[in-house]
């Protein structure tokens, strides 16, 4: 083993440690408060249109107003809250135009990631697709148990992991925000089962295409998949 190989291994190890440290470090009060609020919003406890009172939440979350406002800012930037000057923060109410906008971006990013996999296929380490497989199986299991919210969550994770294959920190961040906003839209839907059910099988199909390295066909399927999904969401939205 050459010296440079040793160095390389050490470099890689140092990076993983640094990542661990960063993960532990990120425990400021503001971020912890933001975590709790984020879950409340994405899980629907705080429905679109709801106002978040400052004094009320300072008591519940046991943080000062300043810290709470910092948490608000964090979530505002993720698109999970909107500020109305001198009136407070609200859970945003997205409409059909937002659906179109969000899906346009999803199509652009996800399809490009899949198509781009063809170029870097050789350098992709084995087991890279495992998270996707886990998500597919989680969705199937949740469907059997009639837990449709969990199906939606697994579906989200599938797409997040799909983007993750590109190894682009900025794509990951963008996708995180896009999917969080999408979750806001799901909460105004009356029938989550109809919305999520068709995509359990399609996710598996997509996964198998990727596993078989048929990237071009996977990209084409994904494109149609997202068009259909957008259409379904728009219809459910208009029928609310």
Partner DNA sequence: AGAGTAGAGATTGTTCAACAATCCTGCAAG
Partner DNA sequence: CTTGCAGGATTGTTGAACAATCTCTACTCT
Binding-site ranges for DNA (CB under 7 A): 25, 28-30, 51-55, 58, 62-67, 69-70, 83, 85-89
- Rounded CA-CA distance 94/104 in Å is 15
β-bridge partners, 84:
88
Q: Which is nearer to its own copies, 81 or 142 (CB)?
A: 81
Name the one range near its own copies by CB under 8 A: 2-10, 96-104, 153-161, 215-223: 96-104
Of 46, 99, 77, 94, the C-alpha closest to 177 is 77
Q: Considering the rule CB under 8 A, would residue 35 count as an interface residue with its own copies? A: no
- Rounded CA-CA distance 84/50 in Å is 12
The site partner of 55 among its own copies, DNA, none (C-beta below 5 to 8 Å per kind) is: DNA
Least CB distance to DNA at residue 188 (A): 23
Of 139, 159, 158, the C-alpha closest to 148 is 139
> Which element (helix H / strand E) includes 205?
helix 192-211
Residue of the chain from 73, 128, 202, 204 that contacts its own copies (CB under 8 A): 73
Contact status, residue 65 vs residue 54, Cβ threshold 8 Å: yes
Q: Considering the rule CB under 8 A, would residue 169 count as an interface residue with its own copies? A: yes
Interface with its own copies (CB under 8 A) = 25-26, 28, 66, 69-70, 73-74, 77, 85, 101-102, 104-105, 108-109, 112, 166, 168-171, 174, 178
């Amino acid at each position: 083993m050459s010296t440079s190989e040793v160095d390389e291994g050490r470099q890689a190890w140092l990076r993983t440690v640094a990542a661990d440290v960063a993960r532990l470090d990120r425990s400021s009060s503001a971020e912890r408060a933001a975590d709790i609020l984020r879950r409340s919003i994405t899980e629907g406890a705080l429905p679109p249109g709801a106002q978040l009172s400052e004094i009320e939440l300072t008591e519940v979350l046991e943080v000062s107003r300043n810290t709470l406002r910092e948490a608000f800012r964090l979530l505002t930037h993720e698109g999970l809250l909107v500020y109305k000057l001198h009136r407070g923060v609200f859970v945003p109410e997205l409409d059909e135009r937002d659906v179109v906008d969000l899906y346009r971006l999803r199509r652009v990013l996800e399809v490009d990631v899949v198509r781009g996999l063809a170029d870097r296929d050789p350098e992709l380490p084995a087991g890279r697709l495992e998270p996707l497989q886990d998500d597919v199986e989680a969705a199937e299991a949740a469907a059997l148990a009639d837990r449709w919210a969990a199906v939606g969550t697994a579906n989200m994770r599938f797409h997040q992991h799909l983007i993750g294959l590109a190894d682009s920190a900025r794509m990951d961040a963008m996708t995180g925000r896009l999917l969080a906003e999408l979750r806001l839209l799901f909460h105004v839907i009356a029938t989550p089962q109809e919305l999520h059910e068709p995509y359990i099988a399609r996710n598996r199909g997509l996964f198998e295409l990727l596993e078989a390295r048929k990237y071009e066909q996977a990209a084409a399927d994904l494109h149609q998949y997202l068009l259909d999904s957008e259409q379904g969401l728009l219809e459910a939205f208009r029928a609310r």
